[in-house]
Structures are given as C-alpha cells and as structure tokens.
Structure 1
Amino acid sequence: MSLTCIVQDLLLNEEPNLEFPTNYYEESPKVIRIFAKLTYKLTVCHQCHHRSVIKYGFKTVHLRFTPINDKPTILYLRKQRFMCHHCNHTWLARTSLADFRCQISNRLKRSFINPLSTDRNLNEIA
C-alpha cells in the first residue's frame, strides 16, 4: 500500500466527510502538503434554528498534522461555509480533526502529550 493511500485512509477514519481531489498529496524537500475538502449537508441554523441554510462558499484553513517520514505535514482543508437566510449568520463546517479555531490537529497534540505522560526516573532525564 502506498503512502498516499495510507494517509487518505488515516484521515477518512477520523473524518468521514472529507473529499480528496485527484492530486491531493504534494511532497517537497522540506514539507508534505495534503489537500482535502470538508463538506456535508446542513439544514438547521445553529443561531435561530430556522431551516433556511445554504452553502456559501469555502474557506481554506491550514492544519498542522503529524509528521510523515520525519517531515512536517500541513493539511490544507477547504471548509464549507454556510449561511442562514433568516438571520444572516455564517459559519464554517466543523471537523473532529482539530478543535474549534485551532490550527494544530488533535493527533499532533496527542503525539506531544503521550511521551510527557510516562514516568521517568532521573537517570533517563540526565
């Protein structure tokens, strides 16, 4: 199985609403870039609870993801924007890959926290 298939399966297991373009994986000498689109159907406004929600374009966000082959990985995620015709409230699609308004993925946060949570004696630290 190629590296691109592994990355795609890994992301789809965490977020099933992702769509990948044909050339979604780009590797340079310094960084790996992954391109994806997040969209889903939404019928009710979060603000006023009316059923007058439309899709209102996309916004690209950059998420730091876990390193692949010791290279930093950036996920360029095109999030669907929604708008309510009744109250003119707009918002972005939410994902489980990262917390709200956060540019660091939850997987990368866990990779930092797991080594810190193990017990170490002074000989290992020094």
Structure 2
Amino acid sequence: MPTSNDMQKVLDIQDKNLLFEEDCVSYALFKNHYCKFIYCTLSYMPTACKHCGEPNQNYSIYKNGSQTSSVTFPTTGVTPTYLNVKKQRFKCKNCQRTFTASTPIVQENCFISNFIKAAVLVNASEARSVKNIALETHVSATTVQRL
C-alpha cells in the first residue's frame, strides 16, 4: 500500500502538511467524464491568526471543524484528476474570526491548482486555440483566457 510520502512524490507535492490515507484513490463519474479522485487531509497548527496577527500562545487559536475542497489537478494517464482536500478550519479567541488551512498547491479561495495554471501558460506559449487548451487541462475556455 502506498504511504503518504509516496503519494506526495507521485503527485509532485512538496507540502508536508498534506496527509494521504490508505486507499485514497477512487474513480467515479463527474461532469459526464470518468475521473480519478484522490483524498487527503490538510492540517497543521498555525503560528498566528491570519486576520489579527495574534500569536498562537496558550491555545488562542483552536481547531474548528473542517472544509472539503475539490481541486482540479493535472491529468494522470488519460483520466482527469481531482484532489479532494479536507482542510482544517481554525478559530481565533482574540478576534473571534475563523480561517482555513492553506497550502502552496492552490491559491486561497481557488479550486484550480497551480500545476494546471502553469500547464495553461505553457500551452498558451504555443500556437494553439483557447478551446483546445481548455479541453486538455479540463478547465473552461474563460479560465484559459483569464490566465
């Protein structure tokens, strides 16, 4: 069975806060396509609040549930791939605001991985149509134009 470290190497992920479980890969129909889903958990203890900057001392920031995000990932083999990330949520006792764990794989409040954005930019440097790039990277043509 693959370990969390093996999955990080296969997917080229350097974030050590992402943990992959046993049997984390499944296949299902999504948007009329046969897709691969990879499940992982993102959790760590933050050093300070993202909003007020209060340092995390004496449990001033505590875990407050989780939120699942489905991130578009580069195609592995011939199937579109989605990374389902269960992100840890935190709450600050000082400002009473919540925030979600972040990772360098995807920007905050975004569901398209930085790998896909890089692939779009590489393909856009060649003489190819926007629609062709969108079909290859499994994002919309509008997203390709925006990038």
TM-score range, shorter chain: 0.7 to 0.9
Higher relative contact order (CA 8 A, sep 6+): 1
Q: How many residues align?
A: 117
Q: Which residue in the other structure is 1:75 paired with? A: 83
- Judged with a 3 Å threshold, the aligned counterparts in structure 2 of structure 1 residues 60 and 81 are, in CA distance, closer, same or farther, namely same
- Judged with a 3 Å threshold, the aligned counterparts in structure 2 of structure 1 residues 5 and 80 are, in CA distance, closer, same or farther, namely closer
Contact 2:13 2:105 in 1 (8 A): no
Structure 2 regions of 5+ residues with no counterpart? 128-147
Q: Deviations along 1:37-58, whole A, 9 cap, x unmatched? A: 0111113212223331001111
Q: Which residue in the other structure is 1:123 paired with? A: none
Tell me how far apart the structure 2 counterparts of residues 80 and 74 of structure 1 sit (CA, whole Å). Answer: 19
Q: Report the secondary structure of 2:48's partner residue.
A: coil
Contact 2:69 2:86 in 1 (8 A): yes
Normalising by structure 1, what TM-score?
Answer: 0.81
Q: Which residue in the other structure is 1:54 paired with? A: 62
Tell me how far apart the structure 2 counterparts of residues 20 and 7 of structure 1 sit (CA, whole Å). Answer: 7
Tell me how far apart the structure 2 counterparts of residues 89 and 42 of structure 1 sit (CA, whole Å). Answer: 14
Contact 2:8 2:14 in 1 (8 A): no
Larger radius of gyration: 1
Tell me how far apart the structure 1 counterparts of residues 5 and 46 of structure 2 sit (CA, whole Å). Answer: 29
Q: Which residue in the other structure is 1:34 paired with? A: 38
Two-structure CA RMSD over aligned residues (Å): 2.3
- Judged with a 3 Å threshold, the aligned counterparts in structure 2 of structure 1 residues 69 and 38 are, in CA distance, closer, same or farther, namely same
Picking from 29, 37, 48, the partner of 1:44 is: 48
Contact 1:33 1:73 in 2 (8 A): yes
Q: Which residue in the other structure is 2:102 paired with? A: 94
- Say whether 1:13 aligns with 2:17: no
> Which aligned runs of 4 or more in structure 1 are off by greater than 6 angstroms?
none
Structure 1 regions of 5+ residues with no counterpart? 121-126
Tell me how far apart the structure 2 counterparts of residues 79 and 20 of structure 1 sit (CA, whole Å). Answer: 13
Q: Report the secondary structure of 2:117's partner residue.
A: helix
